[in-house]
Amino acid sequence: MPEFRETIDVVEIVERARSLWRDARDRANALGVELFAKAAVRRRVARDLQPRIAASDSVYETGLAVRLFSAGSDNAGFAATSGLSSKVVRWAVDAAGNNAARVTATAPAESDPVAPARWDLDPATPHPSLESLTAALEAHPELEWIEAGTTVEVIIGAGGWFAARRRLRLWALVGGPDGRLVAQRGIDGWERLLDSTREAEPLIPSSKHADSNVLELSPEAAAPLVAALVAEFHIREQSAVARFGRGWDVVDDPTLEEGLSGGTFDDVGFPAEKTILAENGIWVGRLGGPGTFRRNSYREPPVESACNLVMPAGAAASTPAARWTACRCRVLRISANVWVLGLESPATGRSAERERRWIRARPQAIVGACSARLGASRVTSEGPSVPSLIFDGL
């Protein structure tokens, strides 16, 4: 376990990664080497068994992953491990060389115009102190825990160039019947984020009509469904479908300033930019190729995926009077053609139970039923920035 430190020196991590990359290159027997290094520091306060007692925890972690490239091959060896030492990088190179589970070898080529050094750094804002976080937790009885963190990721390409990224985020968990995560990019204004957890959710007044064919999803409920529908219709090769609902309007914007992830380059070093996926209910494009490679964790190889999905604010003139409102949605893929949406209505009081509903439908029917957007678009803890969505006919 690395020794805990209050902050992360980005230049130190870059120089450490470059040194480890040279060690890896010397051991790789003429194979091309990419190194992905990560360092993260997190500070958390959480409620203990008694409501007014807070337990604190501070963690510093490091890890790395390597891909080994063979000339003329579309696949690469891959391995990942915790730590940033010469010993672990040698192990990773040996494991990647023997790894039968091959991964994509897509990466910038020597002929690609990649700068030798790239920096994409959030401002180095100090984390709130443990005392400040503890006081905030005590002042917000609805919260179970608060966490502030800084992550630094460094990519060293096979040609020796590097790209460094620093991200600061704050998270909090709302407990009770309204249990949900809230999150923001950056540390500034973290108190305002916590104060926002006292707002009623969803923002638009709820309505329960068991026999209504109109479904309203709050932003938090819409976010996982939007991500699933984008993966289905804007990443897979057979993406385009004949009909989208007129409310389906979405872009992927890795450079979004308030986005929880992403940046000016993807997780193998290609430049990243905004991609329009659908506009005014019309399919426009799909995600794939350079600029779209992402890692859920340094322990996982890069794959083509969305980053910061964004839907514009709602333009609907009014809210349907007869509708069933959900503030949570779980997407279950029963098969390629059948999905089940597990929905929960808002709780009407701290002790009230949520009403649950299950909808079984084809993904084509779900995206085709997206008829309108309501209210402002906001960043959700799931990642997508979305408003409330209306689905008509499900």
| DSSP state, residue 329 | E
pLDDT at site 309: 97
Whether the CB-CB separation of 350 and 274 falls below 8 Å is answered with: no
25: its two tokens:
């290159």
Which residues 6+ apart lie within 8 Å of 314 measured at CB?
372, 373, 374, 375, 376, 387, 388
Which residues 6+ apart lie within 8 Å of 3 measured at CB?
60
pLDDT at site 331: 96
DSSP string, 281-308: TEE-----STT-EE-SSTTS--EE---S
- What is the SS3 assignment for 361? strand
Whether the CB-CB separation of 76 and 69 falls below 8 Å is answered with: yes
Whether the CB-CB separation of 62 and 9 falls below 8 Å is answered with: no
Burial class (CB in 10 A: 0-12, 13-18, 19+), 350: exposed
Q: How far apart are CA 375 and CA 321, in angstroms?
A: 16
Residues of the chain with CATH 3.30.2290.10: 10-196
Of the CA atoms within 13 Å of residue 179, those in its CB half-sphere come to 10
Q: How far apart are CA 155 and CA 160, in angstroms?
A: 10
pLDDT at site 30: 76
For each of the chain's 394 residues, which pLDDT tens digit applies?
Answer: 445 466 799 999 999 999 999 999 999 987 899 999 999 999 999 988 665 667 788 889 999 999 999 988 889 999 999 999 999 999 999 999 987 568 999 999 888 888 999 999 999 999 999 899 999 998 998 899 999 999 999 999 999 999 999 999 999 999 877 678 999 999 999 999 998 887 644 444 455 555 578 999 999 999 999 999 999 999 866 555 668 999 999 999 999 999 999 999 999 999 999 999 999 999 999 999 999 999 999 999 999 999 999 999 987 656 666 788 999 999 999 998 999 999 998 866 554 567 889 999 999 999 999 999 999 999 999 999 999 999 998 8
pLDDT at site 54: 73
Which residues 6+ apart lie within 8 Å of 302 measured at CB?
103, 104, 106, 266, 267, 268, 293, 294, 295
Whether the CB-CB separation of 320 and 328 falls below 8 Å is answered with: no
Q: How far apart are CA 181 and CA 293, in angstroms?
A: 26
Q: Could you tell me the pTM of the whole model?
A: 0.89
pLDDT at site 204: 46
128: its two tokens:
């709130």
pLDDT at site 202: 44
- What is the SS3 assignment for 249? coil
Beta 282-283 vs 54-69: how paired, if at all?
unpaired
CATH fourth-level superfamily of 10-196 = PmbA/TldD superfamily (3.30.2290.10)
pLDDT at site 72: 83
User: Could you tell me the end-to-end alpha-carbon distance of the chain, in angstroms, rounded to an integer?
Assistant: 50
* CA dihedral of residues 327, 332, 333, 337 (deg, nearest 10): -60
Which residues 6+ apart lie within 8 Å of 23 measured at CB?
86, 89, 90
pLDDT at site 352: 59
Burial class (CB in 10 A: 0-12, 13-18, 19+), 384: buried
Other CB atoms within a 10 A radius of the CB of residue 185 amount to 19
pLDDT at site 57: 83
Burial class (CB in 10 A: 0-12, 13-18, 19+), 109: exposed
Q: How far apart are CA 346 and CA 199, in angstroms?
A: 13
DSSP string, 372-386: EEEEEEEE-TTS-EE
The alpha carbons of the chain give a radius of gyration, in whole angstroms, of: 23
Other CB atoms within a 10 A radius of the CB of residue 280 amount to 10
pLDDT at site 48: 80
